[in-house]
Structure 1
Amino acid sequence: MRELPDLVPRHAESVVCEALDDTRVVLVNGARQAGKSTLTRLAAGRRSNAVTRLLDDPATLDAAKQDPTDFVRHEDLMVIDEIQLAPELLRPIKVVVDLDPTPGRFLLTGSSRVLALRDLPDALPGRMEVIELWPFSQGEIAGEPDRFIDAAFRHGPEISHSSSLRRRDYLERLVIGGFPEAVRRSPRRRTAFFDSYLSTLIERDVLRLASIERRGEMFKLLRLLAGRAGGLLVPGTLAGQSGIPRTTLVRYLELLSTVFLTKTIPAWSSGQTRRAIGTPKLAFVDTGVACHLIGQDPVRLGEPGGAAGSMVENFVVMELARQLTWSEERGRLYHYRTKDKVEVDAVIETPDGRVIGVEVKAGATVRAEDLAGLRNLAGTLGDRFIAGFVLYTGQQTLPFGDKFRALPLDALWRLAP
C-alpha cells in the first residue's frame, strides 16, 4: 500500500458541498476518528465567514447548554462538531432556518446516529440532509476511482479487470482497516490504537447513551460479534452464547450500531413485507477493528481455521456500503437468502428495480457451484437482474455465462464507470 499524504481527498467532500448549496442544515454522521472534522473544515473553508464550534471543548459545550439560542446565532455557515453532545441546539437551529431558509446555514457532525437518540427534539424534517462518512475506503487510500457500483450498473457483465494483487495483499488490507490513524501506523502501534479506540468508545459514547450494567459484558459481546461477522444476526442465539439476557442484548446491539461500530444488512426479497421480517446480517463498520477483536493478523487469517472467509465478505460489503454514499447510481444494500439456504452476500437494488448481485470468495479460484446463489437470484428477477459478480482473490476476469463474471476483488476500487 502507498504511503498516505497528510490530507487524503474524500469522495464525500463533493457530496457535502453539493448538499450545502441547496439544503439549510447538513449533518455528517459517522464513527469517531473517521475524519468528519477534517472533512467539514475543508467544506467550511469555501465560505469566507464560516465559524466552527467544537463541542468536545468543555467551555464551548457549557456555552451551548447554557444559552443554546444565542449559541447558534450567526449570519453565515456555522459548523458544530459532535452535535450529539448538545442535542438541545437542534430546536434553536430549527427556528433560525425557518426564519431564514437560505441554504448552507449549518454543517453538523455526529459520532452517534443523531436521529436515533431518544432525547432528540424535533429532527428538522425537510430541513436537514444526513450524509454518512465511513472510515477510508480502499479507493481513498490508494487514490483510485471507487466506482464499481456505477460501472456494474452501466456495463453489466461486460466488465473486465485484471489485478496484480494476491490473497495475502487483501488480508493485509482488511487487517489494517480504514481508520486514518490505523492506516498510518505500524502493526504494533495499530494494535495500541484499536485498544484505545474501543475503550474510549465504550467508556465515553456507549456508557453516555445508556446505562450498562456490566462494562465487561459489552467487550465480551464485541468479541463474540467479531467472530460472527458476516453471519445472520439472531438475538436469541447470541443471547444463549453470551449469557446476556435477550432484552439487554438487543439494547446493546442497538448501541453498537448507534456509535457506528456495527451495521446490519437487511434481507432482500421480492416483497416489501417479507423484507421487513427477513433476518439481517451483521457487519463491522471496520474490518481492522473486527480482526483486532478476534486477535488475527494476516498470517492467522489465512491459515486453516482462520476467519478469512467471513472477514473478506465483511470487507467487501462495507466497501459497497461506502460507495453507495457517493455513487451516481442510487441504491440500497441487502443480502439474499432463501428458505433453502441459497445465499448471495450482497444485493444492490436501485429505485427503478434494477439489481446486481455480488458473491465474495476469499480463495483464488472460482467454481461453477459458487454462482448458485447468483443464478437463483437471476431466475427470481428476470430482466431486472443486470449482472452477477463473484469477487475473489485471483487475478483474472472469468466468464460464467451471459450475465455472470468472476472479478479480482480490487475491481471494487479500481474500476471507473
Structure 2
Amino acid sequence: MPHPQGLLPRRAESLVAEALTDTRVVLVNGARQAGKSTLTRLAASQAGDPVLRPLDDPATLEAARLDPTGFVEHPGLMVINEIQLAPELLRPIKLTVDLDPTPGRFLLTGSSRILALRALPDALPGRMEILELWPFSQGEISDGADAFLDAAFGHGAELEYTSELGRRDYLERITVGGFPESVRRTRRRRAAFFDSYLSTLIERDVLELADIERRRELHTLLRLLAGRAGGLLVPGALAGESGIPRTTLTRYLDLLSSVFLIKSIPAWAPGGGTHRAVGTPKLAFVDTGIACHLLGQDANRLADPGGAAGPMVENFVVSELSRQLTWSAERGTLYHYRTKDKVEVDVVVETPDGRVVAVEVKAGSTIRAEDVRGLRHLADRLGERFVAGYVLYTGRQTLPFGNRIRALPLEALWRVAP
C-alpha cells in the first residue's frame, strides 16, 4: 500500500494486516506517541469501511462508558484507540465476537499493558492477538533491512559488514531515539518534546493505572533509572539510593514498565539453570532518546570521558534487537548473562529449539581480547548450540576473533540481511 508523502512505513503494518485475516480482535500495544494511531489507520484502510472510535476524544469516551454494548455494535471492522481508557468495553467485545467469530472485527490500540489493570474483565483469551509497537527502529528511519537476528542465525560467524559510520554518528542516533516526533524535530525542539512526553506520561498515563500522591518521587526515580540503564535492576539498592520505600519503589517500577517507558531484561542460564548464573534482570529504557534527555546528555556530552556512552550504546543495541524480535522470522527470547565470577554477555538470544546468538556491545572503536571473554565462555559451554557471538562496536570493519566469534560495526544491526 502506498504511504502518504513523508510517512515512514512500519514493519508492524504487515503483521497487523495479517493478524486481521485470521483473528477476531487485534490489539496494538505500545508507548504513547510511538505511531499506533497512524499504523492502525493505514492497516484498517484495507478493510473497506472501518469505524474509527478514538477514546482520547472526551465525547467518544463518555459514549463508551454510558453504553458499552451499543458502542461496539458494528458489522465490519471497528478501530478503538486507547482501549485502556475504557476497559469495560472488553466484555461486550468478547460477547460480540463470540456471537460472530468472523476474523478482523476489532482493531484496538493501547498505551499501557491493559492486561495488568486491576479491574480488568475477561481479557479475550483465544480471541485476541497482541502486537507490540515500539518507536521507530533504525531500519525504519534509514531504510535498512532490520534483520540482524535472522542474518545471525542464518549465517553465523560468516556474517560480514563494512560501515562508513563513526562513533559520533551512533551517538547522534542514540540521543534522537525513535519516537516519530523526536525524529522529525531539531535538537532544541526535541528537548521540548521529551519534557512534554514525560510530563504527560506521569500526570496522565501513570495516574490512569494507579493513584500516586507524591509524583515528584517518580521524576526523581526516572533520572536515577536513566543513570542505571544497562545495569542490574536491584530494587533494594534503588530504594536505598532514592529514599523511596522498597514496596513503593517496586510498584513504581511496575507502573513505568506498564506505560512502556522501561523494560527489564531477564537473566539467562544455559541448560535451564546453573548455580553460577546471576538471576537479577537488567534495566533498559524503551527509547534511548528519553534516557539521554533524563541524563541531560547530548552527543557531545555522551562522548566525554565521564559521559554515559557505554550504557547508552548497550541500551541502543538491546532496544533495536527487541524491536526486531517482534517481526523476525526466527522466534527468540532476549536475555542477558552474568556469572558470579563476573563473566558477562550483554545480550543472549535463544530460540525455542535451544540455538543461541550472543552479542557483546562496546562503545569504542577498537576491540581488545578481553572484550570477547564472555562470548568464548558461552561458545565453550554451549558447543553446537552456540551459533555465533558478535561484538558490536563503533569501528568500521569486520574482525575475526576465533571460532564463531566476530566483531561487527554497529550499523550491521539494521543493514545486514539473511
- Per the TM superposition, whether the score is higher than 0.5 is yes
The answer to whether the aligner puts 1:403 opposite 2:404 as a matched pair is yes
Distance 2:134 2:164 in 1: 27
Q: CA deviation at 1:272?
A: 4.2
Secondary structure at the aligned position of 2:229 is classed as coil
1:40-72 Cα offsets, whole Å, 9 max, x none, are 000000011211100000000001001101111
Specify the alignment match of 1:147 in structure 2.
147
Specify the alignment match of 1:381 in structure 2.
382
Secondary structure at the aligned position of 2:359 is classed as strand
Secondary structure at the aligned position of 2:21 is classed as helix
Structure 1 residues 274 and 401, CA, compared in 2 at 3 Å: closer, same or farther? closer
- 1:5-404 matches, within 5 Å, as 6-272=6-272, 278-404=279-405
Q: CA deviation at 1:313?
A: 0.1
Q: CA deviation at 1:380?
A: 2.1
Distance 2:133 2:273 in 1: 30
Aligned-partner residue type, residue 17 of structure 1: A
Secondary structure at the aligned position of 1:45 is classed as helix
Distance 2:215 2:353 in 1: 45
Distance 1:111 1:305 in 2: 35
Q: CA deviation at 1:377?
A: 1.4
Distance 2:262 2:45 in 1: 32
Contact 2:178 2:289 in 1 (8 A): yes
Distance 2:153 2:278 in 1: 28
Distance 1:213 1:273 in 2: 41
Structure 1 residues 262 and 89, CA, compared in 2 at 3 Å: closer, same or farther? same
Distance 2:278 2:84 in 1: 30
Secondary structure at the aligned position of 1:190 is classed as helix
Distance 1:273 1:61 in 2: 48
Distance 2:371 2:233 in 1: 23
For normalisation by structure 1, the TM-score amounts to 0.98
Secondary structure at the aligned position of 1:93 is classed as helix
Aligned-partner residue type, residue 211 of structure 1: D
Secondary structure at the aligned position of 2:349 is classed as strand
Aligned-partner residue type, residue 267 of structure 1: A
Distance 1:183 1:319 in 2: 15
Distance 1:221 1:38 in 2: 32
Q: CA deviation at 1:329?
A: 0.5
For normalisation by structure 2, the TM-score amounts to 0.97
Contact 2:278 2:338 in 1 (8 A): no
Q: CA deviation at 1:98?
A: 0.8
Contact 2:12 2:327 in 1 (8 A): yes
Distance 2:210 2:271 in 1: 35
Aligned-partner residue type, residue 369 of structure 1: E
Specify the alignment match of 1:412 in structure 2.
413
Distance 1:81 1:90 in 2: 13
Q: CA deviation at 1:273?
A: 6.1
1:64-89 Cα offsets, whole Å, 9 max, x none, are 00110111111111110000000000
Give the fraction of aligned pairs with identical amino acids, expressed as a percent.
Answer: 75
1:161-196 Cα offsets, whole Å, 9 max, x none, are 000000000000000000000010000000000000
Distance 1:279 1:379 in 2: 23
Secondary structure at the aligned position of 2:264 is classed as strand
Distance 2:25 2:15 in 1: 14
Aligned-partner residue type, residue 404 of structure 1: I
Aligned-partner residue type, residue 283 of structure 1: A
Distance 1:299 1:56 in 2: 38
Number of paired residues? 414
Distance 1:273 1:64 in 2: 48
Moved over 4 A (4+): 271-277
Distance 2:185 2:49 in 1: 36
1:228-270 Cα offsets, whole Å, 9 max, x none, are 0000000000000000000000000000000000000000112
Secondary structure at the aligned position of 2:231 is classed as coil
Distance 1:88 1:134 in 2: 26
Secondary structure at the aligned position of 1:22 is classed as coil
Gaps of 5+ in 1: none
Q: CA deviation at 1:274?
A: 6.4
Distance 1:412 1:120 in 2: 38
Q: Which stretch of structure 1 is more off in the superposition, 264-273 or 204-213?
A: 264-273
Distance 1:319 1:162 in 2: 19
Q: CA deviation at 1:341?
A: 1.2
Distance 1:145 1:311 in 2: 23
Distance 1:132 1:162 in 2: 31
Aligned-partner residue type, residue 319 of structure 1: E
Q: CA deviation at 1:367?
A: 1.1
Structure 1 residues 207 and 273, CA, compared in 2 at 3 Å: closer, same or farther? farther
Contact 2:269 2:337 in 1 (8 A): yes
Aligned-partner residue type, residue 90 of structure 1: L
Contact 2:278 2:340 in 1 (8 A): no
